[in-house]
A = this chain, B = another copy of it.
Amino acid sequence: MDFQKINSMGFGEFVDVFGNIIEKCPLIAAAIWSQRPFADLADLEKHVFDFIEALPQSGKEGILRCHPDLAGRELQLGTLTPESQREQRNAGLRDLDREERRQMDQLNCEYKKLFGFPFVIAARLSDKATMMRELARRLRNQPSQELCAALDEVRKICHLRLEDILRSPMDP
């Protein structure tokens, strides 16, 4: 898909294609449609990141709260968004053994209680051992520091999802 095609999209098609580059936040793609034309991937994602940056802290936390648990019940049930399902499955998170699952559940729980949002990490850039180590490490962050770290992961996930879309054929 190229930017001539992207810049010619009506908002309906644009939101269909880009609505989940930020997990479950089609509002963001729908907002930045106002700012087309986009020069390239970097330009489009800059508008996304600027939109997020301009949100109040509650809005930034809200974005994180739209993300699913890592290796949670929805992954097992297959009810994640297609993007999340693929990302978590490919990172090996469906293949945790009993002890790994218990540990992950416990750390996820502690994390959510402490920060008020779920642990978010770009699963495609990681593997299950690293993710568990990161989860334990980031639990020791200060809240403001962890909000930044988590939003940084949101941006990485967005970048990878945008790359996928741009690599996809023009007429799927």
Chain A residues packing against B (C-beta within 8 Å): 10-12, 15, 24-35, 51, 54-59, 61-66, 112, 116-117
Contact = CB atoms under 8 A, between A and B. Distances in A.
A75 to B, nearest CB: 14
B58 A35 contact: yes
A61 B31 contact: yes
A34 B64 CA distance: 12
Nearest to A15: B65
Contacts of A61: 30-31, 34
Nearest to A33: B65
Nearest to A60: B31
B112 A62 contact: no
A112 to B, nearest CB: 7
A7 to B, nearest CB: 14
A30 B116 contact: no
Nearest to A28: B62
Contacts of A25: 25-27
B62 A30 contact: yes
Contacts of A65: 11-12, 15, 30-31, 33
